[in-house]
């Protein structure tokens, strides 16, 4: 992909413009930090293009103060007040299933994840957003709380021009296979290797 040029051009009957503007399914996976950070950076670009941004967090605690959430809510207010950029919605789906086990059984958490996915599916079918960030969505797929085959089918058949970014470790292979762009974050070095905990402005 030298200088942003494709390595090959398929014979698919599409014009260069049609192929270039095809909506994408993007997966950020791997063991290293930065998966959500990269997705939110993409969402910033989308906001600047005037796209409607929908963020759906599936694992981080509903009480966790995420820096990107404050920033995007502020950008949503900028849009509401000035018309600049695009509208923003930020939804926390559940109580935070990986690090802060809240009240309720695993079945309760699975039901919440399924309802979260059903809401996203409804929005995809109604073309509610230009860009969806499904943050940490690989986990309910991995744990079997949401059916991966259904997700792949819905994404493949979504109408209109809707980009979808999914983040999280251990992305199911069928999702990886179906995606248009897949990034795997690989650790080379991390301060935690030297006993340093996460810090404000870097981890959150």
Number of domains comprising the chain? 1
Per-residue pLDDT of 98-120, as tens digits, reads: 444 455 677 878 888 999 999 99
At a CB cut-off of 8 Å and minimum separation 6, what does 49 contact?
Answer: 86, 130
Domain that includes residue 72, residue range: 25-194
Statement: residue 156 has pLDDT above 90: yes
Let me know if residue 135 belongs to a domain.
yes
* Cβ contact 107:143 at 8 Å: no
Q: For 39-97, what is each residue's pLDDT tens digit? A: 999 999 999 999 999 999 987 555 556 789 999 999 999 999 999 999 999 998 865 44
Residue 67 lies in a domain: yes
Q: What is the pTM of this model?
A: 0.88
> In this predicted structure, which of 56-65, 149-158, 159-168 has the lowest mean pLDDT?
56-65
- Do 67 and 201 touch, CB atoms closer than 8 A? yes
Q: For the chain, what's the residue count? A: 204
The domain spanning residue 177 has which CATH number? 3.40.50.300
Alpha-carbon 42 to chain mean position: 10
Residue 64 belongs to some domain of the structure: yes
Residue 200: inside a domain: no
State the average pLDDT for the chain: 88
In a domain, 127, yes or no: yes
């Amino acid at each position: 992909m030298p200088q942003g040029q494709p390595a090959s051009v398929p014979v698919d009957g599409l014009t260069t413009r049609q192929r270039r503007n095809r909506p994408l399914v993007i997966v950020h996976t791997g063991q290293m930090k930065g998966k959500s950070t990269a997705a939110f950076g993409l969402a910033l670009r989308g906001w600047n293009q005037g796209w409607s941004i929908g963020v759906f967090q599936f694992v981080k605690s509903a009480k966790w103060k995420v820096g990107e959430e404050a920033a995007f809510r502020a950008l949503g207010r900028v849009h509401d007040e000035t018309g600049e950029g695009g509208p923003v919605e930020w939804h926390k789906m559940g109580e935070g299933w990986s690090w802060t086990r809240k009240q309720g059984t695993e079945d309760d958490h699975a039901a919440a994840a399924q309802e979260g996915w059903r809401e996203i599916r409804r929005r995809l079918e109604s073309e509610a957003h230009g860009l969806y960030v499904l943050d940490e969505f690989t986990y309910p797929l991995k744990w079997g709380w949401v059916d991966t085959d259904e997700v792949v089918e819905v994404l493949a058949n979504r109408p209109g021009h809707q980009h979808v970014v999914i983040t999280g470790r251990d992305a199911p292979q069928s999702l990886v296979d179906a995606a248009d762009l897949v990034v795997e974050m690989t650790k080379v070095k991390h301060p935690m290797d030297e006993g340093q905990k996460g810090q404000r402005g870097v981890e959150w």
